[in-house]
Structure 1
Amino acid sequence: MNELAFAVVGTSTIADSMVDMIHQCSCARYRGSMSRDAARAASTTERLGGTTPYTSIEEVCRDAAVDAVYIASPNALHVDQALACIRAGKHVLVEKPLAPNERLACLVFDEAAAHGVVALEAMRSVHDPAYETLRAAVERIGRVRRASLRFGKYSSRYDEVLAGRQTNIFDARMASGSLMDIGVYCVAAMVHLFGAPEDISCTPVLIADAENEATGGVIDGAGTILARYPDKVVELSYSKISQDLLPCQIEGELGTVTYGGVSVPSRASVRLRGQAVRGAWTAEAQSTGDETEDLALAACDNNMCYELDNFCACVAGEMDAARYRDITLASLAIMDEARRQAGIVFPADR
């Protein structure tokens, strides 16, 4: 596999984490970072061991030494930056969500196909082998009837909202909010495990209305999506304004799989049900002879390594990127409908 020279768009902590993985990957090499602030671009590139800082996406596109671009800018900028790189013949690995909506994601994928390059969403959970271990465990618990996938952590940026100040993480103009920033992990995991549902209903927790200038209009801080399948129901819970301490759970007729961390799976187990107890409403026990087994998940300090490895494999023609494209598009279609029900509108939707 040939080594890919990467330019990185953005100077956030997530961008630093990807550069760390690039340095550890035999198929990738870090060239430099882009920031509109020339001093920041230069200092970040030097700090991270690169050679060439950039102050615009045009500079990145003109650099013939760049093979691939990792885009970790605000959500609303992803599509324009990805299209510019694609049209310059660069492969693109775009932070989640790849686009504000399904329509624009289709445009990115279509342009990538037309220009013979790879476009991939950097959705870490979809590439983490831990989900293959979970999938194998799910096959042991019989027909799945219910699942609860959840992710909630309090964002310090919410303090800015409470103070009436603008922050990109809670701004409709930036195609952000709780669903797009953190709920997307739950949606992608559901699609990865079960495929797309027949329909969904979304109950959001809105933290701003259409008149709020600081947030660019209606925006969510938390929410729940109920996804209906022919034989099961899946609950997705997400929040950036509170902490969720419960594990994810997948319930089958023969047992239950639990695990922590929908984006970085950990502490997983499968409990196979024994004999059901009649009249269990009078006692704590619901069944006897249950068997619980801890699941061995691949240990990894930073599971962004898996999406990087798969991206390089797709560029080398060793892996088909279509399966990941389909998950991205199905996930965005779900989120488009959830936002429609919540009344959350981005400029890109118009």
Structure 2
Amino acid sequence: MKFGIIGTNWITDRFIEAGKVTEGFELHSVYSRTMDRAKAFSERHNIPNYTDNFDTFLADDALEAIYIATPNIYHHQQAIQAMNHKKHVLSEKPITTSLKNFNLMVQAQENNGVHFMEAMKSIYSPAYLKLKTWIDEIGTVRRVNFHYNQYSSRFDKYKSGIIENAFKPELGNGALMDLGVYTISPLVDLFGYPKTVQATGKILSTGADCQGTVICNYHNMTALLSFSKIIDSHLPSEIIGEEGIITIDKISAPSHIVKMNRAGEVIDTFSCDGLPMQYEIAHFIKAINEGSNDFNIETSSKTMQLIDEIKVQMDLLF
């Protein structure tokens, strides 16, 4: 499948690295707002076509799919434009900044007979898929602890008076959108939308959130989600049932999971060692080639719905 790239940053470098070890992946073109950046990126990754004209980029009949890795606020606009040109879309997480924008993307998909998918690498990991088969074995789930706390080097710059994109809410950025989404997506994928939500967080002078905590109540269980760009945490995430526990090394990119009984004795383990993004790429290509509708649209929709609710409670107005 011939891919075009929108966004020439470090996450795109990782995407291309993963694509090169994924069957069916082919780099075709790259778009950037400046020709110099487009050319430099194409030369670095041996991409045959490059341009600074978005219309020219999308009008290429040979182009089959678009990967979007621009600031969050632009995702839905660029995805809709791409789908209107009959291109499939794989968009970085969060897929957009609101449920309203997400629904506009769904409408564009339906109007054009193409597919779009959120590049939520965690839920395509073999470790995550194995985890889903284990849940029934740990009894009734009573508590979930998912967290992603990672100190940002950009916070050091913020404290010195330099505001970078990571802390600019006008771009749809902040701890919730950049990190918290990784705790929300697997939660709603595994357990659905919660009955009640309580959220709180810390807001910087720019209006961007730098950390947050969310309590999600379900009929039989409670989930605690935490995310931060101003601290680090190295504890695993957990799913705790009446009969056992599943630990997850990193909720944003599961690669090692452990199943234990209540006493903490290990029953089983599972690991995968591929590049985290290769699994989402493989799933996307396979689903399109096979004519499947397996793009986890419902999970992305519930994720955006929950993000909207958390933003209201945290007074995040973007």
CA contact (8 A) 1:154 1:241 kept: yes
Q: Which residue number in structure 2 is paired with residue 63 of structure 1?
A: 60
**C-alpha spacing 1:245/1:26, structure 2 compared with 1 (3 Å):** closer
Structure 1 range deviating more: 304-313 or 154-163:
154-163
Q: Which residue number in structure 2 is paired with residue 48 of structure 1?
A: 45
User: What amino acid does structure 2 have at the position aligned with 1:173?
Assistant: E
For the residues of structure 1 that align with 2:257 and 2:22, how far apart are their CA atoms? 27
Q: 1:272 Cα shift?
A: 1.1
Stretches of 4+ aligned residues off by more than 3 angstroms = none
Q: Which residue number in structure 2 is paired with residue 305 of structure 1?
A: 278
SS at match of 2:51: coil
Q: Pairwise CA RMSD of aligned residues? A: 1.4
The 5 A counterparts of 1:213-252 are: 215=206, 218-252=207-241
User: What amino acid does structure 2 have at the position aligned with 1:66?
Assistant: L
SS at match of 2:48: coil
**Correspondence 1:164 to 2:161:** yes
Count residues with an aligned counterpart: 318
Q: Which residue number in structure 1 is paired with residue 299 of structure 2?
A: 327
CA contact (8 A) 1:255 1:271 kept: yes
Identity %: 31
CA contact (8 A) 2:91 2:119 kept: yes
SS at match of 1:343: coil
Q: Deviations over 1:220-243 (max 9, x none)?
A: 101111001011000001111110
For the residues of structure 2 that align with 1:111 and 1:36, how far apart are their CA atoms? 24
Structure 1 range deviating more: 30-39 or 290-299:
290-299
Q: 1:198 Cα shift?
A: 1.1
For the residues of structure 2 that align with 1:200 and 1:313, how far apart are their CA atoms? 35
CA contact (8 A) 1:57 1:84 kept: no
User: What amino acid does structure 1 have at the position aligned with 2:278?
Assistant: C
Structure 1 range deviating more: 153-162 or 101-110:
153-162
**Correspondence 1:24 to 2:21:** yes
User: What amino acid does structure 1 have at the position aligned with 2:265?
Assistant: E
Structure 2 runs not aligned, ≥5 long: none
For the residues of structure 2 that align with 1:126 and 1:269, how far apart are their CA atoms? 17
The 5 A counterparts of 1:164-313 are: 164-208=161-205, 215=206, 218-273=207-262, 291-300=265-274, 302-313=275-286
**Correspondence 1:35 to 2:32:** yes
Q: Which residue number in structure 2 is paired with residue 114 of structure 1?
A: 111
Q: Which residue number in structure 2 is paired with residue 129 of structure 1?
A: 126
For the residues of structure 2 that align with 1:83 and 1:74, how far apart are their CA atoms? 15
CA contact (8 A) 2:256 2:272 kept: no
User: What amino acid does structure 2 have at the position aligned with 1:299?
Assistant: D
Q: Deviations over 1:62-113 (max 9, x none)?
A: 2222111100001011111111111111111000011110110111122112
CA contact (8 A) 1:248 1:261 kept: yes
1:88 paired residue among 85, 88, 91: 85
Q: Which residue number in structure 2 is paired with residue 341 of structure 1?
A: 313
SS at match of 1:53: strand
TM-score, structure 2 as length reference: 0.96
Q: 1:320 Cα shift?
A: 1.7
Structure with higher Rg: it is 1
Q: Deviations over 1:322-347 (max 9, x none)?
A: 5x11000100110100010011011x
Q: 1:163 Cα shift?
A: 2.6
Q: 1:318 Cα shift?
A: 4.1
Q: 1:149 Cα shift?
A: 0.4
